Structure formats: structure tokens, C-alpha cells
Structure 1
């Protein structure tokens, strides 16, 4: 599967079309923030949350409106500009999960939705998880979701192995944002990963 930058290079209008599609779905009454509702339910009030691969900020805005301090991070500067305009109370950075450290750290929660992981080049997968791990506070959780099927080479077993190499503990595996059970046949993954606390700092 091509990376996001490769898609945009081949079609410069892709970013705007992507943002417009979500805007159209929202105007038609579709639920476009289901992932954010789950994250909000997992978070204490006023949590620090990283929206990794935030796009135009559809989840960032929802979580900010509920009192969280949210940072959006995305490789696409066009989408970041749209996100900034729509969500002036959030903070946004342009950066590549595969190559760039997250500019801020000590997050209580990280969410990565929208198949962000599916767009990473193979050589960038482990570094991306390493960067997310370092951005979390001790005991913090990352909720990462993507689909694995034709054209998507990052198998779920490989993802779990990469996550554990980064230092994560894989706490939960689901096959949907509605928390349907994960099985070996699942084509979509919602993984809840935790950065463990060092021994002696409590449970």
C-alpha cells in the first residue's frame, strides 16, 4: 500500500478531497466521532491526549470540547491547516510518525484512528511505535486501530510483536470501535497498549 505522502504526490488534491469527504458525511448526519467517544470514556477529565495522525481534526475537536488538552500530529500540512482553523483551542504539529519524535510528551492517552498505521512504510513501523511509546507517560495507554487486508502488509501478529519491542504491553484486542471480540480472522484491529510503570511506582 502506498504511503500517505506518495498518494498526495500523485494526487495533490487528495488532502482537500479527504477533508471535504468527512465534512460532507458530518453534514449528512453521519457519526464521524465514534472513536473519540471511546477515548473520552477511557480518559479522566482534563487528560492530555495525543491524536496521532489527526488529519483535519475530527477527533481532536470532539475531545477538546470535552475538556481534554489535545495535541494533533499529522504528516499532511494541508490537513493540519484545516484542523487549526476548525480547532483553535487545540495544538497541532506537522510531522511524520516514522521519522519524527512527537514534540510533546507525558500524554495520558494516545489515539491513532483512520488507518494511519496502514499508510506507514514497512521500515517506518517500528520507529513509529517507538515514538508513540516515548510520548506516553508511565502507565499511559495508546489506542491504535487499522485494517489489515489486501494491500495492507502489516499483519496484526507483526504489529503486536513490534508493539512489544517498543516496550508496550498489549492489554486488549478488539475488532471494532464498538469493542467486538478480536479473532485470528479479524480484518480490523483496535489495540489497547500500555506503557508500564517502572517497578515500585504503583499499579
Structure 2
């Protein structure tokens, strides 16, 4: 299963730059775009996360791809009939998503300041997906805000699926505290996107969260 870093930030004039902006070089966005285009051309399986999301939502769900990067997860969900809006703070990656995967709506947005109503997307989402280490690349200290902003865009009883590597500086116990503070509830946890059982020594966590019904 792919564990490639999600694109949560960009190299612009940001008051609180993400770790993607501060921990990688200025050429990295194009490298990332080229990498996933090459993997797609080689026939690599890039839809593992999307299969899990598809399995837990109803047909034609409205799905937020938060930290969408080049759009591989959102595009796979759209191919399965879902209505997808993808957001990422890196304009180069959003442009690549628009070019490579027409159909979903791809928007430039900082997850820590997410307010899609202003972009004409006021309808709440049935689900959100944060794949490929998105939570490990948001600006340090904004993790609770990011989860709260995602939760605010879910309908009551909506779900969020979040996966990230546990070797990237964001502790799982801190994540669980941030989840609770955001008003979300942890329902299931796995060690991979293909549902291998959770174990304490795992180096990757996939968490299924739910916004409680009103």
C-alpha cells in the first residue's frame, strides 16, 4: 500500500507554513507530480485508500479529499461514482490534479483555515479522507485545528478516514486527543489501508473517525 506523503502545504507567503513547505526543497512539488504520473503510467495500484473509503460510504456520497495532492485518491473515488471535492494548499499539485483528473472539483486551500462555503461548497460532506501522511505535513501545532475544520465540513454521522506514518513526529496519543477535541469519535483503527489488524508496534495507523449524530 502506498504511504507516500500527502501534500498539505505549499511554498508561498504563509503566516504558518506547513512542514511540507519547511522540510522539503522548492523542486519537490514537481518531483512529486512526476513520480505519481510515472507510477500511474507503470500501472501501479494507487487506489488502495479509495477502495477503503468506498467500502464504508453509500453510493454517490459527497467526499472531501483533504490534502488531495495530485488527486489520485479523489479521482479513484470519482471513478466509483462519488462526488468529490479535493483541496490542497500547494497550487502546483492542485493544477496537476485538474490536468490529470478532470471531473472532481480541485481547490487550493489551507486545511488549517478550511472554509469551503466561501468557495461555493456549503453542502456538508458524507466523508473525508486524509491519505498519505497529510496530518504529518500540516504546520506543527495546527493538527487540532485541521481536524476541527475537517469535522466542521462533515454532516452529522459523517466519517473521516485518516492515515499517517508513526515515524513522522505526530504521536498517536496526541492524534487521539486532537480527534476528541475536534468532536470526532474513533471507531476503528488498522495498521494499513488494506485493513491489516492494528497492533501497538505498527509503524502506520489508519483511523476511522465519525462525527456523532446531532
Q: Could you tell me which residue of structure 1 aligns to residue 164 of structure 2? A: 146
The unaligned stretches of length 5 or more in structure 1 are 199-203
Per the normalisation by structure 1, the TM-score is 0.90
Number of positions where the alignment pairs a residue of Structure 1 with one of Structure 2? 193
Q: Secondary structure at the match of 1:131?
A: helix
Q: Could you tell me which residue of structure 1 aligns to residue 41 of structure 2? A: 27
What are the equivalent positions in structure 2 for 1:113-152 lying under 5 Å apart?
Answer: 113-149=131-167, 152=168
Contact 1:75 1:97 in 2 (8 A): yes
Contact 1:118 1:154 in 2 (8 A): yes
Contact 1:115 1:147 in 2 (8 A): yes
Q: Could you tell me which residue of structure 2 aligns to residue 91 of structure 1? A: 105
Q: Secondary structure at the match of 1:122?
A: coil
User: Over aligned residues, Cα RMSD in angstroms?
Assistant: 1.4
The partner residue of 1:178 within 194, 201, 205 is 194
Q: Could you tell me which residue of structure 1 aligns to residue 126 of structure 2? A: 108
Q: Secondary structure at the match of 2:113?
A: coil
Per the normalisation by structure 2, the TM-score is 0.86
Provide the C-alpha distance between the structure 2 equivalents of 1:197 and 1:79, rounded to a whole number of angstroms.
Answer: 34
What are the equivalent positions in structure 2 for 1:28-47 lying under 5 Å apart?
Answer: 28-47=42-61
Deviations 1:31-71 (A, max 9, x none): 11111111112221110000011001111111111111100
Considering Cα pairs closer than 8 Å and 6+ residues apart, tell me whether 1 or 2 has the greater RCO. 2
Shift of 1:26: 1.8
Q: Could you tell me which residue of structure 2 aligns to residue 48 of structure 1? A: 62
Shift of 1:129: 0.4
Provide the C-alpha distance between the structure 1 equivalents of 2:33 and 2:95, rounded to a whole number of angstroms.
Answer: 11
Deviations 1:88-121 (A, max 9, x none): 2111111111233344351101011011111122
